Structure 1
C-alpha cells in the first residue's frame, strides 16, 4: 500500500465521525450525504400497510446511500409495527457511532429519514429507525422499569415519579404499568421534563 493510500484509509474513520457529528448537531445533511430532497417526487399514496411498506422501502434506499457515504457497513431490515414503518440497521462495526450519546445521533438520523420519506410521498412520516438494537434494548429496559415501579407502588402505596422521557418512552412505561393491578400511571410536567408518575389506586 502506498503512503498516499494509507493516509486516505486512516482518514476515513475520522471523516465518517465528523459527518455523523454534523448530522447530530445541525440536523442537516453532511457533505456527500444524500439530501432528503433528492428522493423521488411525491406519488399517490397507497392505503394502510402498503403505504407503510412503501415508507420503509424509501427509507431503506435513503439509509443505504447514507451508510455508503459515511463508510459504515450494516444490514437494513424493513418491517411494519402497528401504524408505523420500522427500519433497523444492524450487523456492522462501530454502528454505536450512529447512535450517539443517549441516542442523540440516532434521533437526528431518524428525523432526516422521515423527511426523506415525506419528500417522496407528500405525507408526514412516523417511521421509526433503530440502529444496533438501541431502541429495542431501550424498550425492554423501560418495560422492566415500568413493571418494577408498578409492583413496588402496589406493595408500598403512595406514588413514584420516574425520570423525564420522550412520548414514545412514556408510552412503553404506561403499557407496562397498565398490566399491574392496583396502580395507574399518568404523565406530568412539560416537555422536555415531562415524566411518568405511578400511583396506587386502592
Structure 2
C-alpha cells in the first residue's frame, strides 16, 4: 500500500492517522489536504472531519541506483554501488569487474551516465539533488590530473604570452581548473562557450 485517505479532527490528527496506517515517518510521505474540516459549534454541532491523502514518497536515491544497475547490465558490467547522501547531494560510488567500461575515455561515459542519473533522480521531484558518480576512485585521480594540467598550461600561457584554450569539460571539471589557478599571480581563467562545448581559457595577466 503506497497511499491512504485518512480522517481526523484536524489536519495534523488525520496525517498522524495516515502515517500509522502506512507505518511511515513524516519525512517519507507527501500529504495532500482534501478537506481542512470544521470544528462546529462547541466543537460538536456541525463539525466536519479533516480529510487528507497520505502518499509514500518515491525513493529517489533507490531510483538512481536501479537506473545505474540497468544501464550497467545492458553494457555487460556487474556493478556494486555504495551510496552516500549529504543534504541535497547524492554520491554513487561504483566498483566491480570491467568497471573501466563505465568510465570510458577520459571519463566521458561516466560523465554521461552521471547526467542521466541526475535527470532520473530529479524527475517529478519537488527539490533538486546534485548527483556525483564515481568509479574505483576515478574522480580523485582525474582531479589530480587536471590540477597538474592547469599548472602546466599556465606556464605555457606565460611563456608564449598567448591564451591557452582547454578542451570542453563538464562544469565540475572546469571548476577544478579555475580553483587550481585562482591564486596564480600571472594568469587568470574564464569559461567560454555553451555546454556541452563550454571550455576554460587561461590568459596571461598582461595580455
TM-score of the two chains, using structure 1 as the length reference:
0.57
- The structure-2 alpha-carbon separation of the partners of 1:142 and 1:119, relative to structure 1 and needing over 3 Å to count, comes to same
Choose 1 or 2 for highest CA Rg.
2
Structure 1 runs of 4+ aligned residues shifted over 4 Å read: 54-58, 64-71, 80-83
Unaligned runs of at least 5 residues, structure 2: 1-27, 31-58
The alpha carbon displacement at 1:175 in A equals 0.8
1:139 corresponds in structure 2 to: 143
1:89 corresponds in structure 2 to: 94
Matched, 1:78 2:78: no
The alpha carbon displacement at 1:191 in A equals 3.8
Contact 2:88 2:128 in 1 (8 A): no
Equivalent of residue 168 in structure 1, options 165, 172, 178: 172
Taking only aligned residues, the RMSD between alpha carbons, in angstroms, comes to 3.4
TM-score of the two chains, using structure 2 as the length reference:
0.56
Instruction: Tell me which of the two structures has the higher relative contact order, counting C-alpha pairs closer than 8 angstroms and 6 or more residues apart.
Output: 1
- The structure-2 alpha-carbon separation of the partners of 1:56 and 1:158, relative to structure 1 and needing over 3 Å to count, comes to same
- The structure-2 alpha-carbon separation of the partners of 1:65 and 1:141, relative to structure 1 and needing over 3 Å to count, comes to same
1:79-158 matches, within 5 Å, as: 79=84, 84-90=89-95, 92-119=96-123, 121-154=125-158, 157-158=161-162
Contact 1:56 1:87 in 2 (8 A): no
The alpha carbon displacement at 1:100 in A equals 3.0
Unaligned runs of at least 5 residues, structure 1: 1-41, 45-53
Aligned pair count reads 151
2:17 corresponds in structure 1 to: none
Structure with greater helix share of residues: 1
